[in-house]
Amino acid sequence: MNPRLTLKHPTGWFAAGREMQQALAILSDGAFKLYVYVCLHAERSSARLRFRHSELARSLGKSPRSISSYLNQLRRQGVCQVQAAANQHQTGSIEIADRFWPYHKQLSKTPVSDQTRYIERVRQLFLSRACVQGTFSAADEKLAVELYQRHVPLERIERAYLLGCARKYVALLNHPRVALISSLHYFTALLSEVVERKVSPDYWSYLSHKVDRLEQSWQRDSAAVRLGPANFAPPNRPSATQNKGETR
């Protein structure tokens, strides 16, 4: 009979089981490390953690841009809901999804309306990419309300967002001084194009991965400009002009 194991420290530990194993199977090393950090520091009753990009970067030994990339991956994989801050120094929040949280959450007594959830999803989406600069302004929120009242599906907004970000990254890679996206209105013209495109759902999955790669390429190029040519040797990658046809 095996001896009964006892904990060295009876408090402060986290129940790492099948939820963590599921996350390990779908996340990159950096995103999984961030997930574990959130698990260890989130409120047990709600699975929520208030955070600043700078604090996460310092605690994990990563750059703020890397933290943004990991947060995006956690959101896309359905591991967490992320409420991004207006900038890297303000406070945001992250909540681990039930599937990846081993504890029973205490439900909020305040009901959340469908419109509130819709606007929050649009806000999270808008702030999720590095090519977007600024905050989710009052004008952006007003537009999100209008989209809700027009019954525009979130899926259509997400696809318009992918198209817009893909094209913006191609423009940034070819012309670094191009302005970043600063308003939700940037994507509204693409809503009708999403409907007109007769493509399979697989195309949007492909485009999502394509945007990831374009974002990483642009972030590497931006780092090269900051560090200078003596400190950075960019990897070989296809010319950004080769990507234009894929997002038209």
> What local confidence, expressed as pLDDT, does residue 244 receive?
46
Greater confidence (159 vs 111) lies with: 159
pLDDT in tens, 182-205: 999 999 989 999 988 888 888 998
> What's the angle, vertex CA 69, arms to CA 96 and CA 131, rounded to 5?
125
- Give the contacts of 173 (CB within 8 A, at least 6 positions apart): 214, 217, 218, 221, 240
Could you give the percent of the chain with pLDDT greater than 70? 82
pLDDT in tens, 56-104: 888 899 888 888 889 889 988 999 988 766 555 557 789 999 999 998 8
**Which pair of tokens denotes residue 79?**
């591991």
pLDDT category, 225, cuts 50, 70, 90?
low
Q: CA 95 to CA 47: how far, in whole Å?
A: 5
Across all residues in the chain, what is the average pLDDT?
Answer: 83
Domain with CATH 1.10.10.10 in the chain: 14-109
- CATH for the stretch 14-109: 1.10.10.10
Residue 76 is which amino acid? R
More confident residue, 143 or 120: 143
Distances from the Cα of 193 to the Cαs of 52, 78, 190, 208, 245, in angstroms? 36, 27, 5, 17, 15
Whether 232 contacts 191, CB under 8 Å? no
**Region 147-172: what's the mean pLDDT?**
94
Spatial separation of the C-alpha atoms in residues 129 and 211, rounded to whole Å? 9
pLDDT at 51: 83
b (16+ CB within 10 A) / e for 49-70: bebbbeebbeebebebbbbbbb
Whether the CB-CB separation of 74 and 82 falls below 8 Å is answered with: yes
pLDDT band, residue 105 (cuts 50/70/90): confident
pTM: 0.52
- 1-15, 43-57, 73-87, 193-207: which has the minimum mean pLDDT? 1-15
The yes-or-no verdict on residue 237 having pLDDT over 80 is no
Q: What per-residue confidence (pLDDT) applies to 92?
A: 77
How far is the CA of 168 from the CAs of 39, 120, 131, 153, 210, in angstroms? 34, 23, 7, 23, 12
Q: Are 168 and 106 in contact (CB under 8 A)?
A: no
* pLDDT over 90 percentage in the chain: 39
The helix (H) or strand (E) run that includes residue 80 is strand 80-83
Question: Looking at residue 155, what is its pLDDT?
Answer: 92
- Give the per-residue SS3 of 24-62: HHHCCHHHHHHHHHHHHHCCCCCCEEEECHHHHHHHHCC
Kindly tell me if the per-residue pLDDT of 241 is higher than 50: no
Query: Which of 142-156, 192-206, 227-241 has the least mean pLDDT?
Result: 227-241
DSSP helix/strand/coil, 143: helix
pLDDT at 82: 85
What pLDDT, on a 0 to 100 scale, did the predictor assign at position 232? 44
